[in-house]
């Protein structure tokens, strides 16, 4: 082993302004350890000495070390093997490793770097060179530890965000249950007609709503709503709209009025649309808007009076299997104060079905991005015409899923369906 020669030993006192506090000096020569230790102590470092590689590993296990200065040539475990062993340890901080060597061949330096050494200090060296090498290591350790601190902060923040997301996810699961409860009945038999409802949000909660309510003597109102956007805000809007069109509380239903001393009767559907528009703009003052189609079925005659406000054209499945689309478009609710809402009507014959559906059906895309559109939806309706009620809806969703092929639907799916048997086919319930 070559002798360690020091030139121009600095007499500076005070610790280096760096992140290195504790230095481990590893050398089988006690004299050279003392020389290095004295020099490092004068520069402000806490120094620990080890006479062998094995002893150095014990020191690492006992307390944290910032930097190791190790002689390359030592009996037993040399400095190169010690470096490899240090790098294999699961330490909670990075240790900067400097090999002291008289080797100056390029191949030896490359081999040392491959084994995990950070720097080399050729013997003989002086105190200023040692100090410069340590400062260089300190800069690297500072960046490494700042990065580690930032990573820990990021990990902690991500854990907090994950916990918040889990809490929000649990709340959304409950919100989905509550939104589904807005559709308390999925099917009701009105004697000469059945009304069935489908509500399938694309996420936890959505902006679609379907429902029905008694609209006076011998009439049933059926509606389908699609609030703009998705998520919590849209779901809250549907909940509020459900209250305005409640089947269980006619005195709160804005579609119904009660003349003095009389029973509840229905406002014209176009008037209902205008009232909802005024509520959206004057009271709710929301950035959201919605499309709606609402129709009143006269159970005896089969006439349906309809107000359509930006909602897709309803599909009419005739008893003979023909699918027709009727509609006049109209303006969505909650966009313009001066919007004008009108109404129109159609007649259902015995065996006919009328579907008020959301655009989640017709705007559903296949693997190539092509939309199903009205023609494709009509084919699905015809292919499942032998089914009724909720079984019909389940088949529609199945076919749509086969068409879509992706894991989840991009938009909410909802539909309200009237199946008309005709007066005289059954008693009025």
Q: Read off φ and ψ for residue 213, nearest 5 degrees.
A: -160, 160
Residue range(s) defining the domain that contains residue 113: 6-150
**Domain count within the chain:** 2
Among the ranges given (13-27, 200-214, 293-307), the one the predictor scored with the smallest mean pLDDT:
13-27
Buried b (16+ CB within 10 A) or exposed e, 349-358: eeebbbbbbb
Q: What is the mean pLDDT of residues 37-42?
A: 90
Same domain, 287 and 407: yes
Task: Determine, yes or no, domain membership for 312.
Answer: yes
Smallest Cα–Cα separation from 101: which of 127, 128, 126, 71?
A: 71
Q: Please report, for residues 187, 214, 217, 338, the alpha-carbon distance to residue 427 in angstroms, rounded to integers and kept in the order given.
A: 17, 16, 14, 44
Per-residue pLDDT, 275: 96
Residue 143 to residue 153: CA distance in whole angstroms: 15
Place of tokens 């506090």: 21
Distance CA 110, CA 127 (A): 25
Any residues with CB less than 8 A from the CB of 129 and at least 6 apart, and which?
Answer: 121
Could you say which of 106, 130, 150 is where a domain stops? 150
Q: Are 189 and 128 part of one and the same domain?
A: no
Instruction: Identify whether residues 22 and 126 lie together within a single domain.
Output: yes
Q: Rounded CA gap, 49 and 59, in Å?
A: 9
Claim to verify: residue 139 and residue 280 sit in the same structural domain:
no
**Cα 143-116-135 angle, rounded to 5 deg:** 40
Are 231 and 279 in the same domain?
A: yes
**Domain membership flag for residue 173:** no
* Domain assignment of residue 295, yes or no: yes
Q: Is the pLDDT confidence value at 217 over 80?
A: yes
Q: 169 lies in a domain?
A: no
- Position 95 scores a pLDDT of 93
CATH number of the domain that 306 lies in? 3.60.40.10
Query: What's the pLDDT band for 237 if we cut at 50, 70, 90?
Result: confident
Residue where a domain terminates, one of 129, 150, 171:
150
**132-136, 389-393, 412-416: range with lowest mean pLDDT:** 132-136
For residue 385, what pLDDT band results from cuts at 50, 70 and 90?
very high
Task: Specify if 53 maps to a domain.
Answer: yes
- From 101, 134, 150, the end of a domain falls on 150
pLDDT at residue 34 is higher than 50: yes
Residues 130-155: what's their mean pLDDT?
88
Same domain, 80 and 40: yes
Residues 142, 14 share a domain: yes
Question: Is 343 inside any structural domain?
Answer: yes
pLDDT of residue 14: 41
8 pLDDT higher than 60: no
Q: Are residues 107 and 208 in the same domain?
A: no
Residues 131 and 259 in one domain: no
Any domain includes 175: no
| 200 plus 304 within the same structural domain | yes
Nearest alpha-carbon partner for 218 in 143, 150, 299:
299
Residue with more model confidence, 174 or 297: 297
Q: Are residues 107 and 194 in the same domain?
A: no
- Residue 427 included in any domain: no
- Are 111 and 51 found together in one domain? yes
């Amino acid at each position: 082993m070559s002798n360690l020669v020091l030139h121009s030993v600095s007499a500076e006192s005070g610790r280096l302004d760096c992140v290195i506090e504790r230095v481990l000096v590893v050398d089988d020569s006690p004299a050279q350890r003392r020389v290095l230790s004295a020099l490092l102590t004068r520069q402000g470092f806490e120094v620990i000495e080890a006479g062998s590689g094995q002893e150095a590993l014990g020191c690492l296990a006992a307390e944290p070390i910032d930097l190791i200065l190790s002689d390359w040539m030592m009996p037993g475990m040399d400095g190169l093997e010690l470096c490899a062993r240090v790098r294999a340890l699961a330490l909670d901080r990075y240790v900067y490793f400097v090999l002291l060597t008289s080797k100056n061949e390029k191949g030896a330096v490359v081999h040392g770097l491959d084994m995990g050494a950070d720097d080399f200090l050729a013997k003989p060296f002086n105190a200023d060179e040692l100090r410069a090498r340590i400062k260089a290591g300190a800069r690297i350790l500072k960046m490494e530890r700042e990065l580690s601190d930032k990573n820990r902060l990021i990990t902690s923040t991500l854990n907090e965000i994950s916990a918040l997301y889990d809490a929000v996810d649990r709340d959304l699961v409950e919100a989905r249950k509550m939104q589904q409860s807005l559709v308390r009945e999925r099917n009701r038999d009105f004697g000469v007609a059945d009304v069935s409802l489908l509500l399938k949000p694309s996420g936890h909660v959505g902006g679609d709503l379907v429902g029905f309510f008694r609209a006076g003597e011998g009439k049933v109102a059926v509606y389908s709503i699609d609030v703009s956007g998705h998520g919590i805000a849209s779901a809250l809007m549907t909940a509020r709209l459900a209250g305005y069109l409640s089947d269980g509380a006619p005195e709160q239903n804005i579609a119904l009025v009660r003349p003095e001393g009389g029973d509840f009767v229905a406002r014209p559907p176009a008037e209902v649309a205008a009232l909802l528009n005024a509520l959206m703009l004057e009271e709710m003052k929301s950035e959201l808007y919605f499309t709606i189609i609402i129709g009143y079925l006269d159970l005896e005659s089969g006439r349906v009076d309809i107000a359509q406000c930006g909602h897709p054209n309803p599909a009419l499945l005739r008893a003979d299997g023909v699918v027709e689309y009727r509609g006049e478009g109209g303006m969505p609710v909650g966009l313009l104060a001066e919007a004008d809402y009108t109404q129109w009507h159609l007649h259902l014959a015995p065996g006919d079905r009328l579907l008020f559906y959301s655009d989640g059906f017709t705007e559903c895309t296949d693997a190539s991005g092509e939309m199903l559109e009205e023609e494709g939806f009509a084919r699905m309706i015809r292919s499942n015409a032998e089914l009724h009620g909720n079984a019909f809806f389940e088949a529609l969703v199945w076919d749509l899923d086969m068409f879509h092929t992706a894991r989840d639907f991009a938009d909410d799916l909802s539909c309200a369906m009237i199946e008309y048997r005709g007066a005289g086919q059954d008693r009025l319930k």
